[in-house]
Structure 1
C-alpha cells in the first residue's frame, strides 16, 4: 500500500481536519529487554519516531546486568508519558513477554511486540494499522511482515522471510511459526483473547509470538505484509529469529538440535496446552483435526505413517514439510 493510501485509510476511520489526523490510532508497544544497552537508544528513538500514531512503550527488563536499566531510566525521565518501566528479575524471554501481555492496558487500539536491538522504519506501525483496518470486523486480527535483515552496523543483508506461499492459518500455525514476533501488531480483540487465557505452563509454549500466531489464526485472521517494516539486526548475541546461514549450515544445526533432544516433543506439548485452553471454542472441524493429530502422534509407527499422508497440517516450504512428516513418523514431534 502506498503512503498516500495509508494516510487516506487511517483518516477515514479516525477523522481528519485541516491537515491533522484527529484521534490518531494508539499503539502500546511491549518491549522485553535483557543486557541490550549497546543498541538501546537507537532502537527506542525509532519507536518514538513512528509517524501518525500515538504510542506508549511498556518495558519489562528481565534482570539485566549491564547498563540497560540505567539507560532505560534516563529515557523514562526524558519521555515520562511514553515510557513505562518495570525492572525485574530474570525469568526468560517467554515469561517476560507474557508478563507484559498481562500488564498491558486495554485502552489502546493496537498492540505491538518489540525486540531490544532492532530499528523500526518510521511507517512501521501506520502501515500495519492501515492493513488491519481493512479487515476490521470486531474479531481477532494480527499483522506481521517481512524483515530487512542487517548487520550490527545496519548494513543490508537480505529480506526474510522472503516468501510465504501458503495461507497463514491454524493448519500452518500448529506446526510452524512464520510470523516474526518483532513485526507483529494485534488489535484489541486479539489481545483480550490471549490475555484471558494465559497458558498454565509456559514450559509448553515454544515462544510467545508462535503462541499468538496460533491463537489468532484459530479465531481470527493473520495478515502478512511482504514489505519489510523493521531493520532486523543480526549479531553474536541475537540468538533468536532469522539467520543468514547457508542451507547446509541451517540443516546441520537442525540435525544437531534434534540429536541433542532440544526439538523433541515441543510441538505436541504446545498443541496439548492450546487445546486444553481453547478447545471448547474451536470450530468442530479444527477440534477434530487437532485431536486426530495428537491421538495419531501417540499411536504406533504404522498408524503414524497412515495418518501423516492425509494430515491437513502443513509447513510453508516443501523441504520443511518432508521434515515434519519424518519427525512425526518417528514420534518425536
Structure 2
C-alpha cells in the first residue's frame, strides 16, 4: 500500500543554530512519503550551507528555494506558490522546533477520517520547551469554544507549525493568495480563517511538536503570568502597534471570498465592519452581542473593549 505523500514547507531565516535538529526530526517521520521544500528568506549565517548539505544528502526528498528577504508571511506564501499541487497533504514547519516521529502520520490519520469534499486542517497542542529541549508546559490546550469563523476572525487558535492541510485546502488557498499581503496578520491565521469558514478544523490535544521558546522566538506561547501578558497587550494597543489589524484582515477576507461565503456569514462579517463607523453607544451595544468571540473569558472582554475603542 502506498504511503500518503506529504509536503513539508519550511521557511528559514538565520536559523543555523537549530536547523539540524529540526531537519533530522523531519527526516525521521514515519509512515509517510516525505518531501521537504525549504525556502530561505535571505539568511546571512550558515543556514544556507546547512540546508544545502541536507539537500545533497537527500536529493529525492529535499528541495531548496532561494529567495530574497520578504518576511515570514511572504516567505510561506511563496512556498505555497512554488509547491505544485501534487501531494496528498501539506504541512508548515518552523526552523527551530523538533517534531515527534509520528507527528505527520497522526495528522494524516485524523484528516483521512474527515469528509473528503471540504477543506480540512489539522492542528494540535505543542509541548513547549526551552532552548535545550527541557519541557515547560503544554500550549495551547483544547479550545473550549468552537473553531469557527466567528472565532477565527478575531483570534488565531491554531499554531502554524502544527498545521497539516488536505489537498483541497492547499489548492484553494494557493489559487487565491492576495497580491498585497500587508493586511494579513500571519499566514497560519489566514488559513485558519479560511478553513473555519469553508470546511473543518481538527484540533488534536496530543502534543506532537517540541515548540522551542527562546529570545529569538517572538511569536507563540509564553510562560508569563496573565497580568503581565495583558499589560503588554494593552501597551501595544495604546502605542498603536496593533491598531486595525483585525478589521483590515477581515475586510480583505470579505473582499476575496464574499461570493463564496454563506449569506449569514457575509452579513455578520459586513456588520462587524460597518458597526465600527457607528457612534459609541451603538458600538457598545454591538460589542456585547456580536457573534464573534475569543476562547478565554478575559480575552473576550478585551476584544469587546478594543472594538468599542475602534482599536480592532
> TM class by shorter-chain length?
over 0.9
State the partner residue of 1:125. 104
Superposition CA RMSD, Å: 0.8
Q: Map of 1:15-34 to 2, 5 A cutoff?
A: 22-34=1-13
**Cα contact 1:76–1:85 (8 A) shared by 2:** yes
TM, length-normalised to structure 1? 0.92
CA distance in 2, matches of 1:217, 1:145: 15
CA distance in 1, matches of 2:123, 2:65: 26
**Cα contact 1:35–1:66 (8 A) shared by 2:** yes
Shift of 1:137: 2.2
CA distance in 2, matches of 1:137, 1:237: 39
Q: 2:238 aligns with which of 259, 273, 295?
A: 259
State the partner residue of 1:13. none
Q: Map of 1:122-161 to 2, 5 A cutoff?
A: 122-161=101-140
Q: Which blocks of at least 5 consecutive residues in structure 2 are unaligned?
A: none
State the partner residue of 2:216. 237
Q: 2:44 aligns with which of 65, 71, 84?
A: 65
Is 1:317 paired with 2:296?
A: yes
CA distance in 2, matches of 1:298, 1:124: 45
Q: 1:186 aligns with which of 162, 165, 168?
A: 165
Shift of 1:297: 1.4
Deviations 1:157-216 (A, max 9, x none): 000012310010111000000100000000010011111110232110000000000001
CA distance in 1, matches of 2:268, 2:193: 14
Q: Map of 1:31-42 to 2, 5 A cutoff?
A: 31-42=10-21
CA distance in 1, matches of 2:147, 2:239: 30
Shift of 1:249: 1.8
**Aligned length, in residue pairs:** 312
Is 1:326 paired with 2:305?
A: yes
Shift of 1:226: 0.7
Shift of 1:63: 0.4
Shift of 1:87: 2.0
Is 1:54 paired with 2:33?
A: yes
Deviates more, 1:192-201 or 1:210-219: 192-201
Shift of 1:259: 1.7
Q: Map of 1:57-96 to 2, 5 A cutoff?
A: 57-96=36-75
CA distance in 2, matches of 1:136, 1:57: 26
CA distance in 2, matches of 1:311, 1:29: 38
Q: Map of 1:290-305 to 2, 5 A cutoff?
A: 290-305=269-284
Q: Map of 1:194-205 to 2, 5 A cutoff?
A: 194-205=173-184
Deviations 1:98-142 (A, max 9, x none): 101111121100000000000000010011111111113221000
Q: Which blocks of at least 5 consecutive residues in structure 1 are unaligned?
A: 1-21
CA distance in 2, matches of 1:162, 1:110: 24
Spell out structure 1 runs of 4+ moving beyond 2 A.
Answer: none
Shift of 1:302: 1.4
CA distance in 2, matches of 1:199, 1:325: 28
Deviates more, 1:239-248 or 1:316-325: 239-248
CA distance in 1, matches of 2:187, 2:259: 22
Query: Does the residue aligned with 2:101 lie in a helix, a strand or coil?
Result: coil
TM, length-normalised to structure 2? 0.99
